[in-house]
Every structure is written in structure tokens, then in C-alpha cells.
């Protein structure tokens, strides 16, 4: 699975997902889906009990879920049960919920959107632009945000080439880049902005996005030039690349006499453009 983890929204509920390019199949976090459908205060316990019941009923194909590393609220990656669309539909049938039918339609829609995007990648970009506009982001901000997505993909492709393992090692290197340019790890940066599970980049203003882009682009170019092998060598380069943007941030702050890092966040996107 070479694609990054993604967050999909079902009625404002976040569902962690991942696309398997080889199988051409979405995988969904079972716990996230169970939480939405059961409305249980402890979805982990609910799923554990349901899994045992389904096993006793002989539904091994339903409960024999793969485990994939997905991001948690603390910013780290942990293995969690995931299910493909067919498995998920069977799990949904076992949970009495008024959201069952709407969720089935949602699954079908997600699948169709992905197949459409494979045929025409421009659709994914257009969908992202439309979603950001609906949330109230400015056109300038959207342009910068799309650039960060492009540069992030180039960086992760370079890490993959260098032999870095997707998941926890990507997260550690991302923290190295973040700390080198902003002075904070990803989790610290989120806390600074008052975020929990929200996407950090969606809460950056234009200057923050540009500096983060510079940090990741610099890391990519240094890595291509030095051709590191594995995680440890890539970790040093992540720090060096982030430091290029860190120096730029410090010089700018010295010139304007104030920090360019802001506590403004995606809860009110329009404020991100305010000077």
C-alpha cells in the first residue's frame, strides 16, 4: 500500500481510510465505522464483543481483518483492524443502526469517486478545491495548499526510494522536518493551534504553508543529492532540509519583529488570511 492514509467524512464523522493500489480497494478503520454506527462510548469494546459473537456464528471471513498502521489522536501510528468494502458491508449488517443504509450508500460513493479519480486524476484536485471553497478558504490559500500536497508527495516518494518504511518512520521524519523549521513537533504544533484530530496544514496560514513547503522541498532535494540509505541517514537529511526553512523563518521574524507562527486554525478558515 503506497498511498498515504486519508481521512474521509461521513456526516462530519472522520473515518480513517487507506487505498491499496495493488488490490484497487479501499480499507476502512473498523473502529471508526463501529463508533459511528453503534454510537457507543467505547467502540473498541463494542467491536471486540461483536467480533467474538460473529466468530461464534462462523463468520470468520468477516472478522479476519487485516491490521494496518493508521494515525491516532496523538499523531503517532498504531496498528488497527481494517476492512475492505465487502467485509465492511457485512459488519454493518451486524450493527443495528439508523445510519446503516446511509453508510452503505456512502461506501458506494467513496468507491466510485476513487475509480473516477484513477481514470482522471484532475477530478481529485477539483474535488479538493471544491471542498476547501465550501469551508471558506480563500483562493490564494487554496493555491498554496495544493502546492504543499504536490511537494509532500514528492517527499514521500523520495523517502520510499531511500528505503524508509511508511507509517511510524514517515511520522518521525515529518516531526524532524517540522521541529527544524517551526521549533515544534507536529503534535506540539497542533497543541499550539488547539487542534486534536484536525489536519495541521489546513490550519496553517499562507506564510506557514510556504515555510512548510520550503522545508519539505529542501529535504527532498538534499535527499536526491546525497542519496541516503534507510531511516537513520534520511533522519539527518530531514533535519537539514527543515533547517533551511527554519533559518528563513528566523530571518523573516527578525525583520518584521514578530513570530510568523499563528494560533489561528481551520475552525474559522477566513481568519487565516487576516494580517
pLDDT over threshold 80, residue 254: yes
Q: Is the pLDDT of residue 163 over 90?
A: yes
For residue 225, what pLDDT band results from cuts at 50, 70 and 90?
A: very high
pLDDT grade for 219, boundaries at 50, 70 and 90? very high
Taking alpha carbons only, the member of 69, 118, 61 closest to residue 94 is 61
Q: Cell 533559518 belongs to which residue?
A: 247
Q: Is 237:228 a contact under the CB 8 Å cutoff? A: yes
Return the pLDDT at 99: 83
Q: What is the mean pLDDT of the chain?
A: 84
* More reliable by pLDDT, 8 or 120: 8
Question: What confidence tens digit (pLDDT) does each residue in 128-153 have?
Answer: 778 788 888 888 888 888 888 888 98
Domain spans in the chain, listed from the N-terminal domain onward: 6-119, 138-273
Q: CA-CA distances (angstroms) from residue 149 to 112, 197, 243?
A: 22, 18, 20
Are 192 and 265 in contact by the 8 Å Cβ rule? The answer is: no
**HSE-up of residue 177 (Cα within 13 Å, Cβ side):** 26
pLDDT band at 61 (very low <50, low <70, confident <90, very high): low
| DSSP H or E stretch at residue 182 | helix 168-182
- CA atoms of 254 and 144, how far apart (whole Å): 24
Confidence label for 162 from pLDDT (cuts 50, 70 and 90): very high
Instruction: Give the residue ranges of DSSP H helices in 162-262.
Output: 168-182, 186-193, 206-226, 230-256
Radius of gyration of the chain (CA): 20
Amino acid at each position: 500500500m503506497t498511498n498515504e492514509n486519508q481521512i474521509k467524512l461521513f456526516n462530519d464523522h472522520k473515518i480513517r481510510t487507506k487505498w491499496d493500489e495493488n488490490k484497487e480497494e479501499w480499507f476502512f478503520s473498523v473502529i471508526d465505522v463501529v463508533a459511528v454506527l453503534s454510537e457507543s462510548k467505547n467502540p473498541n469494546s463494542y467491536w471486540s464483543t461483536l467480533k467474538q459473537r460473529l466468530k461464534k456464528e462462523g463468520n470468520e471471513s468477516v472478522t479476519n481483518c487485516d491490521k494496518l498502521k493508521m494515525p491516532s489522536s496523538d499523531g503517532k501510528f498504531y496498528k488497527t483492524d481494517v476492512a475492505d468494502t465487502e467485509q465492511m458491508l457485512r459488519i454493518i449488517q451486524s450493527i443495528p443502526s439508523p445510519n446503516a443504509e446511509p453508510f452503505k450508500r456512502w461506501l458506494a460513493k467513496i468507491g466510485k469517486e476513487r475509480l473516477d479519480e484513477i481514470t482522471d486524476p484532475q477530478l481529485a484536485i477539483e474535488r479538493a478545491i471544491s471542498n476547501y471553497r465550501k469551508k471558506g478558504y480563500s483562493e490564494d490559500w487554496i493555491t498554496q495548499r495544493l502546492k504543499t500536497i504536490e511537494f509532500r508527495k514528492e517527499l514521500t516518494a523520495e523517502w520510499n526510494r531511500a528505503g524508509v518504511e511508511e507509517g511510524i518512520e514517515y511520522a518521525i521524519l515529518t516531526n524532524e522536518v517540522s521541529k527544524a523549521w517551526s521549533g515544534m513537533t507536529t503534535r506540539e504544533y497542533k497543541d499550539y493551534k488547539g487542534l486534536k484530530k484536525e489536519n495541521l496544514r489546513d490550519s496553517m496560514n499562507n506564510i506557514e504553508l510556504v515555510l512548510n513547503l520550503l522545508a519539505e522541498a529542501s529535504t527532498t532535494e538534499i535527499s536526491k543529492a546525497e542519496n541516503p540509505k534507510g531511516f537513520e541517514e534520511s533522519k539527518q537529511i530531514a533535519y537539514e532540509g527543515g533547517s533551511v526553512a527554519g533559518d528563513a523563518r528566523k530571518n523573516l521574524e527578525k525583520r518584521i519583529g514578530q513570530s510568523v507562527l499563528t494560533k489561528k486554525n481551520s475552525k474559522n478558515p477566513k481568519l487565516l488570511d487576516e494580517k
